[in-house]
């Protein structure tokens, strides 16, 4: 019997069919990531070794930025700036740490100031690395992008603040809309050049936008359709021009937007935070399982963080039993695994997926 390679497993799931097993994915905060690497005897920077140890079927492909640094750090305050001007500061806590967003330098910026704000140029990326990455990761399902591609609320919010960003969308503030437009255009062009360089070997495009809180939508469906959906559609159309599906990330209560995702041509939804309002796995599978593939659904705030390995096995088996029916499911944490997650719980999570994620043939 011939077994499917990772790429075949993922694409079969994206097509809402049954592969020979459930595909696996992984994302984690730095603390638990280091502990997992130590458990497997890996170096702290051996990301590929960890993914192989866990059986992960996905690999990201992206160009390398080769331009100059566009925004200065503030070392006296421990603040680091990226090339979009987003400023972060590392915050330690008892179980690890995280990058907090600070300063929001465009919060009160005018349209003219936003137009002059330095942003990366697609010309300043090296796309020549793409073919080699595709060869290196040949057996795996390859994607470009991620949850941060085309996200208006998050990335605009990191520069203008989330409150100001939502006001921008509601009032059609030219400054906020210009920032979104500039970012989207850059992202589209980088994605286009990446797909061209891959020569058909990238398997899907990954975009994102957080549309919900724990308790309900972050905006009305009317506002989403007016302001954010058109940006998403541009990426879906770009992917379609290369014959590729799109997966979209959204945290929180986001099922209210799934009909729009389907209408736009999106193939898969990521995160599926099971404890959020209107995100019960059985309900999602029943309502949308014949039209969307699912990626995620393993809560990072439940038994993985606070339970025993036995609790993790029980909960992961339950999700598998619901989501595996008819295919169309990729096993993954709903968010990055948090630093307060016991190492043995993560190991139990992936061992359960391998043991119980097989389809009978």
For residue 68, with 0-12 CB atoms within 10 Å meaning exposed, 13-18 middle and 19 or more buried, which class applies?
A: exposed
Which residues 6+ apart lie within 8 Å of 326 measured at CB?
16, 17, 18, 289, 290
Q: What are phi and psi of 298, to 5 degrees?
A: -90, 110
Which pLDDT belongs to residue 2? 55
> Considering only CA atoms, which of 103, 74, 98 is closest in space to residue 86?
103
3-class DSSP state of 211:
coil
C-alpha to C-alpha distance for 35 and 37, rounded to whole angstroms = 5
C-alpha to C-alpha distance for 8 and 84, rounded to whole angstroms = 36
C-alpha to C-alpha distance for 233 and 218, rounded to whole angstroms = 19
DSSP state of 63: P
pTM metric for this prediction: 0.97
pLDDT along the chain (361 residues), means of 10: 84 97 97 97 98 98 98 97 97 91 97 98 98 97 97 97 97 98 98 98 97 96 98 98 98 97 98 96 98 98 96 98 98 96 98 96 54
Alpha helices, H only, the chain: 6-14, 30-39, 47-54, 111-116, 129-136, 152-160, 162-171, 174-198, 221-223, 229-241, 258-264, 281-288, 303-306, 309-323, 343-356
Domains parsed from the chain with CATH numbers: 6-68+123-356 (3.20.20.210)
Q: Contact 183/155 with Cβ under 8 angstroms?
A: yes
Burial track 8-24 (b if 16+ CB lie within 10 A, e otherwise): bbbbbbbebebbbbbbb
3-class DSSP state of 256:
helix
C-alpha to C-alpha distance for 112 and 99, rounded to whole angstroms = 30
The 10s digit of each residue's pLDDT in 303-343 is 999 999 999 999 999 999 999 999 999 999 999 999 999 99
Which pLDDT belongs to residue 1? 45
Which residues 6+ apart lie within 8 Å of 197 measured at CB?
63, 127, 128, 130, 131
């Amino acid at each position: 019997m011939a077994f499917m390679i990772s790429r075949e497993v993922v694409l079969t799931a994206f097509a809402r069919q049954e592969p020979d097993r459930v595909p696996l994915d992984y994302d984690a905060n730095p603390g638990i990531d280091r502990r997992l690497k130590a458990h497997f005897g890996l170096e702290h920077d051996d990301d590929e070794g960890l993914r192989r140890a866990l059986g992960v079927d996905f690999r990201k492909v992206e160009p390398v930025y080769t331009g100059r640094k566009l925004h200065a750090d503030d070392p006296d305050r421990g603040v680091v700036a990226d090339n979009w001007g987003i400023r972060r500061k590392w915050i330690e806590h008892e179980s690890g740490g995280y990058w907090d967003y600070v300063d929001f330098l465009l919060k009160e910026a005018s349209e003219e100031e936003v137009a002059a704000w330095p942003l990366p140029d697609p010309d300043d990326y090296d796309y020549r690395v793409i073919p080699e990455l595709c060869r290196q990761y040949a057996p795996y399902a390859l994607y470009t992008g991620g949850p941060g591609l085309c996200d208006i609320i998050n990335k605009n919010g990191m520069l203008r603040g989330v409150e100001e960003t939502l006001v921008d969308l509601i009032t059609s503030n030219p400054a906020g809309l210009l920032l979104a437009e500039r970012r989207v255009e850059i992202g589209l062009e980088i994605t286009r050049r990446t797909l061209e360089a891959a020569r058909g070997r990238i398997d899907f495009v990954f975009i994102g936008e957080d549309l919900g809180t724990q308790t309900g939508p972050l905006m009305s469906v009317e506002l989403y359709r007016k302001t954010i959906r058109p940006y998403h559609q541009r990426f879906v159309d770009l992917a379609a021009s290369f014959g590729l599906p799109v997966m979209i990330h959204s945290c929180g209560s986001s099922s209210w937007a799934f009909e729009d995702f389907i209408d736009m041509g999106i193939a898969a939804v990521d995160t599926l935070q099971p404890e959020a309002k209107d995100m019960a796995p059985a309900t999602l599978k029943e309502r949308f399982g014949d039209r969307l593939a699912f990626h995620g659904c393993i809560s990072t705030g439940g038994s993985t963080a606070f339970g025993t390995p036995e609790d993790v096995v029980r909960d992961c088996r339950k999700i598998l039993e619901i989501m595996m029916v008819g295919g169309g499911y990729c096993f993954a944490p709903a968010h990055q695994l948090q630093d307060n997650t016991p190492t043995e719980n993560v190991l139990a999570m992936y061992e359960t997926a391998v043991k119980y994620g097989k389809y009978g043939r």
